[in-house]
Amino acid sequence: MTALTLYGVATNNTTLTGSLKLVTVTGGAGTAFEATVVGTNGGYGVLGSWSTPAWASGSGVGSPSGDGIFWNVTTLEGQTFPAGVWNFIASLVEAAAGVTHSADLYFPLYKYNAGVYTFIDTLVLTGQTITSTAASFTLTKSLAAVSFATGDKLYGELWADLLSHTGTPTSIKNQCSSSTTLGLASTCELDTPGYSPTGVALAATLAGVGTLAGTTTLTTALTDTFAGVGTLTGTLSAQMALTGTLAGSGTIAGTITLSTALASTLVGAGTLSGVFSLQVTLSVVFAGVGMFLPNTSGLTGPPRARALITLIAPRGKLSLQSPRGTITLVGPRGKITLEGD
């Protein structure tokens, strides 16, 4: 950033002949002035810096008159003033003794290019009193950034709105340095926030040369699929809900647990191993096939079945056959004894 403070000196410009020349250095020792005849007039008018325009008695700040201060150099071409505070310090005095003016002060700034004024903004200082004793008045405002193109020059001029007066006014002197090359601090002084080259927006791709060092971050959301080249390493995490079946390739290692309740029959392939247990409660009678044999462990004689069997026949007669031993049957109508071999 290049600092810039400008000062008015006692000479005019060749382009705008009614304007005061500006320099960047100080060292002036005295003051010169341009006296604008105001008389008892009120309203708005330009306090000339080099020439003496007639008092306009207008209702507001008018169009640029060319009677201000002008930096007629190419220094600002391709440069930008950033957003910041601008000040203009004017040294004013009423020519007639014992006279005062109540006034509001305005300093509009412009870019001048080949006869065309482009408005920038206006510095303001209200509620002031101008007397027959010289005093400095600082007009200020925080402005937005402004850029200068080829041919643009900096121009400004001082306006006053004369609200009232006492005594018999004659003219108001707008002072500057009496030197033609050296400015005087706080006398026709313009303070800027400094300037720097205007950035150029790139409209094409620039080829890089060398190695890009540092950490590079990509924050652009991808809207397409990119083909990968090489090996993807590190720990991957998939947090997308799957809505279809993915075909597997390779071997699944580790312990597999199925905790899903099966709602249908699954066809098995291979051998089912392990110990199986059937714990279903039987609710029907199962027909037996084969012979039921009692336990004869430790017995020396023929096997015996000891049980009390009660048979009820509808007509009182029961017939049983046994290949071994004796079977005794007791019915409701008598006792029947059968003997076998």
Q: In the chain, what are the domains?
A: 5-197 (2.60.120), 306-341 (no CATH)
pLDDT for the residue numbered 23? 97
Q: Residue ranges of the chain with pLDDT lower than 50?
A: 292-294, 296, 299, 303-311, 338-341
CA distances from 134 to 91, 92, 176, 181 (A): 6, 5, 12, 23
Angle at 159 between CA 177 and CA 78, to 5 degrees: 70
pLDDT for the residue numbered 325? 60
Token digits of residue 71: 């930096």
pLDDT for the residue numbered 137? 98
Cα–Cα distance, 54 to 67 (Å, whole number): 11
Token digits of residue 206: 């620039």
| Single-letter residue type at 323 | P
Residue 324's nearest CA partner among 309, 300, 341 is: 341
Contact 86, 123 (CB under 8 A): yes
pLDDT for the residue numbered 333? 56
Token digits of residue 195: 């300037």
CA within 13 Å, CB half, 188 = 42
pLDDT for the residue numbered 266? 63
Reported for 305-308, long-range contacts at CB under 8 A and 24+ positions apart, including other chains, are: none
pLDDT for the residue numbered 252? 66
pLDDT for the residue numbered 42? 95
pLDDT for the residue numbered 3? 97
Cα–Cα distance, 190 to 202 (Å, whole number): 34
pLDDT for the residue numbered 202? 64
- β-partners of residue 244 are none
Token digits of residue 230: 């090489």
| Single-letter residue type at 291 | M
pLDDT for the residue numbered 127? 98
